Amino acid sequence: MPNPAASHDLDRREALGTMGLALAGVVAADPVAAGVEDRGANIKITSLRGIPCGPKTFLKIETDKKVVGWGEVTGCEPKVAAVLAESLFELLDGENPTRVEHLWQKLFRSHRDMRGGSIMVHVISGIDMALWDITGKLWGVPVYRLLGGPLRDKVRMYPSPKATKLGTGGPNPFSGNPGDVMGLVKGIENLRKEKGPDYAIMFDAHCAIPPAMLIQFAAAVEPYNILWLEEPACPGNIEVFKRLKQQIRIPIALGERDRTIWEVISYLQNGCIDILQPDVGQTGGISQMRKIAALCEAYHVPLAPHNTCSELGLSASVHASAATTLFLIQEGYLDGHIMPAGVARKNWAVDADGYASLPQGPGLGVEMDEAMIAKVAADPKKTFKWPKPTYADGAVRDY
């Protein structure tokens, strides 16, 4: 006997099939759809050059479509970074630069014994910036458009006329006398009296105030309502940060020396911090900044990105900050002490209230002057020097 249910299913499948063909015909005939071009479909990486420039390394990635991307490696010996980047080109040669996440994973996971290492991740950070730069240029849009679009019209910055960060002024003892502690507090007290309650003051311990003295300092500085206490201890032992968080009532910020989602997640899981400070040039580039921001959102922890790059790496961070949900403030130095003016030329500006306009133009929106790069690279005064941190008695200190 014929099965009515089976017959009904067959009729339904035929109808759906006919509908699908009809829709396909409509799409094929649609002149708008027919004119859509995937600009990222047929492009290949052809070269990668690492260029040491003072304390930084600039990376130039070229393609067969003449679209060039630039990235910056920071926090790394420049000559080493350049050589490693050019070695990693072996994994990028002929690849499509718009497959940014795929290439990030390919580089990061390529060698099991170097995975997650600081030098490797810093170099990947620069490559990642350059890949986003190429992708934005291909589509003719700023990078933040590719990140879901800007969540704000301007990006709060420091240092600015409305915000600044104070430091330790050098190494400090493991536990301080009143004079040691109050000497640090006095600078904050004076600045608060001068600038008033609407001025943002941050204090960077720089891992240079050991925990015992830091607890003393934090208690003494409480009345002055600083925005945060930064880098309370050297990374490595989560128990130290848990202990400090239990005894310090000032918001704690850290993260500039922690790389990728895997190094920051324990801070969030253990409730050790109030503000996270990833650095786009050190944590794994824009790609990892995005993932870290998502982790922080789940824990209601805002981002205050650290940045000591030139205008190139700083612009990459501004793009990421513009598209980040829980964003507090962006660090960035435009006075020329990190990189002379003209090497990297941004197209955004900071207003009198300390807000940066959004970068314009395709990609990162930064023009690189290779003649200026060469000039800085040849200046012996700009050469990278290894730090030699010591206490007054000659003992080696952390930072």
Active-site positions? 206, 306
Q: Provide the 10 A C-beta neighbour count for residue 167.
A: 14
Q: CA–CA separation, 27 vs 212, rounded Å?
A: 69
DSSP secondary structure letter of residue 160: B
Q: CA–CA separation, 21 vs 11, rounded Å?
A: 15
CA 145 to centroid of chain Cα atoms: 17
Say how many Å lie between the first and final Cα of the chain, rounded.
Answer: 87
Task: Give DSSP secondary structure letters for 44-56.
Answer: -EEEEEEEEETTE
Peptide bond into 232 cis (omega under 30): no
Nearest to 191 by CA among 162, 231, 230: 162
Whether residue 238 contacts residue 269, with contact meaning beta carbons closer than 8 Å, is answered with: no
Whether residue 327 contacts residue 302, with contact meaning beta carbons closer than 8 Å, is answered with: yes
> Which helix (DSSP H) or strand (DSSP E) does residue 13 occupy?
helix 4-29
Q: CA–CA separation, 337 vs 142, rounded Å?
A: 27
Whether residue 241 contacts residue 232, with contact meaning beta carbons closer than 8 Å, is answered with: yes
Number of continuous H segments (helices) and E segments (strands) in the chain: 13, 13
What's at 35, amino acid-wise? G
Nearest to 280 by CA among 289, 290, 291, 271: 289
Token pair 């015992």 is at which residue? 212
Nearest to 65 by CA among 165, 137, 147: 137
Q: Provide the 10 A C-beta neighbour count for residue 372.
A: 17
Token readout for 68 is: 């060039």
214: left (phi over 0), alpha (psi -120 to 50) or beta: alpha
Beta 200-204 vs 163-167: how paired, if at all? parallel
384: left (phi over 0), alpha (psi -120 to 50) or beta: beta
